């Protein structure tokens, strides 16, 4: 009998760009049930969730492959609804497919929050190093550097969308971080792939941490 976990994207499901790679880590004995905070919404409705100047910015993917920006304050209630929907359906573990920062969730089961996992892994190995961060949007650079300065005072965040010419963007970001002298690179978005990670590692010639890989392997550790 397969083990069942829930997955919640802040965008639209299915996340065909994420779930196959996560499933390969979890193995064939794990079934992943997806839900998306923007499922069933039109682009016009989604546009009303866009961030204002002072909002915490999140970037996600729609089912047509395009990407959108949403404000954390707008999307959080929708995320909570989808998470709790999984728990009500009897799923005991839910994987949030986002590395963004959110307020505390009142979850009734085991919730995997990649941002917390990623932050603590980087803090464990990267304290005091020159940290090179990859984040999807230019609008996220300031908030990214503010977060990661809690680990090291020397941080550079570079915008690199995994959704628009993702591999080319990753190469450009890697070259910029190499020139800057990054000692550790963190790919801070669930949208980045293992193929992008390998390309960045080859260019920078330093360790590279992939958010989806760290988070998925944590899930694997928990479900067996």
pLDDT above 90: residue 142:
yes
Rounded CA separation 14/84 (Å): 18
Q: Alpha-carbon distance 55 to 221, whole Å? A: 34
- Summarize pLDDT for 83-100 with one digit per residue, the tens: 999 999 999 999 999 999
CA 8 and chain centroid, separation: 11
Question: From CA 31, how far away is CA 82, in angstroms rounded?
Answer: 17
The pTM of the full predicted model, rounded to 2 decimals, is 0.94
Q: What is the pLDDT of residues 33-76, one digit of tens each?
A: 999 999 999 999 999 999 999 999 999 999 999 999 999 999 99
Can you say whether residue 165 is alpha, beta or left, with left for phi > 0 and alpha for psi between -120 and 50 degrees?
Answer: left
Kind and range of the H or E run holding 120 = helix 114-126
pLDDT at 105 over 90: no
Tokens representing 53 are 């100047």
Q: Give yes or no for residue 104 having a pLDDT over 90.
A: no
The rounded distance, in Å, linking the Cα atoms of 186 and 208 is 6
The class that CATH gives domain 3-113+213-223 is alpha beta
Q: What is the pLDDT of residue 46?
A: 97
Spatial distance between the Cα atoms of 46 and 41, rounded to a whole number of angstroms: 6
Work out the average pLDDT over 19-23.
98
Average pLDDT, the chain: 96
Question: Distance (Å, rounded) from C-alpha 90 to C-alpha 15?
Answer: 22
Assign 1 a pLDDT band (cuts: 50, 70, 90). confident
Q: Which residues neighbour 198 within 8 Å (Cβ) at sequence distance 6 or greater?
A: none
Q: Cβ-count burial of 39 within 10 angstroms (0-12 exposed, 13-18 middle, 19+ buried)?
A: middle
Note whether 10 and 100 are within 8 A (CB).
Answer: yes
Tell me, what's the pLDDT at 116?
Answer: 96
pLDDT of res. 107: 76
With 90 as the cut, is the pLDDT of residue 108 above it?
Answer: no
Q: How would you label 66-92 residue by residue, b for 16+ Cβ within 10 Å and e otherwise?
A: ebbbbbbebbbebbbebbbebbeeebe
| pLDDT 10s digits, 143-190 | 999 999 999 999 999 999 999 999 999 999 999 999 999 999 999 999
Domain with CATH 3.40.50.1860 in the chain: 3-113+213-223, 116-210
Q: What tokens were used for 185? A: 């690179």
Helix (DSSP H) and strand (DSSP E) numbers for the chain: 8, 10
Give me the count of residues in the chain.
224
CA distances from residue 4 to 22, 94, 98, 135, 220 in whole angstroms, order as listed: 13, 9, 20, 30, 12
Q: What is the pLDDT of residue 188?
A: 98
Of all residues in the chain, what percent carry a pLDDT higher than 90?
95
Topology adopted by domain 116-210: Rossmann fold (3.40.50)
d(CA 130, CA 9): 31
């Amino acid at each position: 009998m397969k083990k069942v976990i829930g997955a919640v994207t802040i965008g639209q499901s299915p996340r065909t760009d994420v779930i196959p790679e996560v499933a390969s880590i979890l193995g064939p004995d794990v079934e992943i049930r997806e839900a998306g905070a923007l499922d069933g919404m039109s682009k016009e409705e989604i546009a009303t969730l866009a961030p204002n100047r002072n909002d915490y910015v999140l970037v996600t993917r729609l089912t047509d492959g395009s990407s959108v920006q949403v404000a954390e304050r707008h999307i959080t209630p929708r995320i909570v609804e989808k998470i709790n929907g999984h728990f009500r359906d009897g799923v005991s573990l839910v994987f949030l497919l986002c590395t963004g920062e959110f307020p505390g969730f009142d979850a009734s089961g085991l919730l995997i929050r990649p941002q917390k996992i990623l932050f603590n892994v980087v803090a464990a190995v990267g304290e005091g190093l020159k940290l090179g961060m990859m984040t999807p949007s230019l609008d996220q650079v300031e908030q990214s550097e503010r977060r990661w300065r809690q680990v090291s005072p020397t941080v550079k965040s570079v915008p690199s969308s995994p959704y628009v010419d993702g591999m080319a963007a990753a190469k450009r970001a890697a070259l910029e971080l190499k020139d800057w002298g990054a000692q550790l690179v963190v790919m801070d978005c669930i949208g980045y792939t293992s193929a992008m990670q390998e390309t960045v590692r080859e260019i920078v010639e330093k360790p590279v941490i992939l958010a989806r890989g760290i988070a998925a392997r944590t899930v694997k550790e928990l479900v067996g």
